[in-house]
Amino acid sequence: MVESVIESYAIGGGVGAQAYLTPMSTEDIDVFVAVKPEVAATLQPLQEIYASLAGRAKADGLYLVIGGWPVRFLVVPDLLHLDAVRTAVTREIGGEPARFMRPEYLAAIALKTGRPSDKARLLEFLQTGAVDRPALEEPVARHDLADRWSLFKRQILGAQ
């Protein structure tokens, strides 16, 4: 059973951000999965998840197509994503409850990733007030992103 593999999960990426920001174009749903420690050491920690969904989803390359959406399951790659999964909130999507990363974690992940699209998303989080700056400071400090945050504030926000 999947419950024997998954500790927790949360939707992140573009669809996760859409829970707080204006809708944007995105190709897939990123579901970040925190797997149990005894499973994390295996070579295929998501194998049981894919196997359990095989009858309800169609495999398409890296994705499982569920309800018409390509869904990508990703094992959390670092402690920032793990915190984002563990502190996720439940919201509805298509009338069903699902766990979404909180906006300050989505913003901190965007800061860490640092691609132009991520910087634009971080700026939108800040300009719309979707993320509270003091709340953002907590994951920034805990996950050693202070230098990136300072650089972003100088380059993008014009702060000293």
117-152 confidence digits (pLDDT tens): 999 999 999 999 999 899 999 999 999 999 999 999
| Span of 8-12, 63-67, 76-80, 85-89 with lowest mean pLDDT | 63-67
Query: Residue 2: how many CB atoms within 10 A of its CB?
Result: 14
Tell whether 119 and 132 lie within a shared domain.
yes
**Chosen domain end from 101, 116, 145:** 101
Length in residues, the chain? 160
Q: What was the pLDDT predicted at 1? A: 52
Tell whether 56 and 120 lie within a shared domain.
no
Residue 23 has, within 13 A of its CA and on its CB side, a CA count of: 2
Question: What domain range includes position 109?
Answer: 105-155
Tell whether 128 and 91 lie within a shared domain.
no
Three-class DSSP category at 141: helix
Tell whether 36 and 110 lie within a shared domain.
no
> Terminal CA-to-CA distance of the chain, rounded, Å?
52
Tell whether 35 and 111 lie within a shared domain.
no
Tell whether 71 and 139 lie within a shared domain.
no
Q: What was the pLDDT predicted at 106? A: 98
Tell whether 119 and 148 lie within a shared domain.
yes
| Span of 24-38, 75-89, 109-123 with lowest mean pLDDT | 24-38
Query: Residue 42: how many CB atoms within 10 A of its CB?
Result: 12
Identify the burial level of 119 via C-beta atoms within 10 angstroms of its C-beta, where 0-12 means exposed, 13-18 middle and 19 or more buried.
middle
**DSSP 8-state class, residue 127:** H
Residue 95 lies in a domain: yes
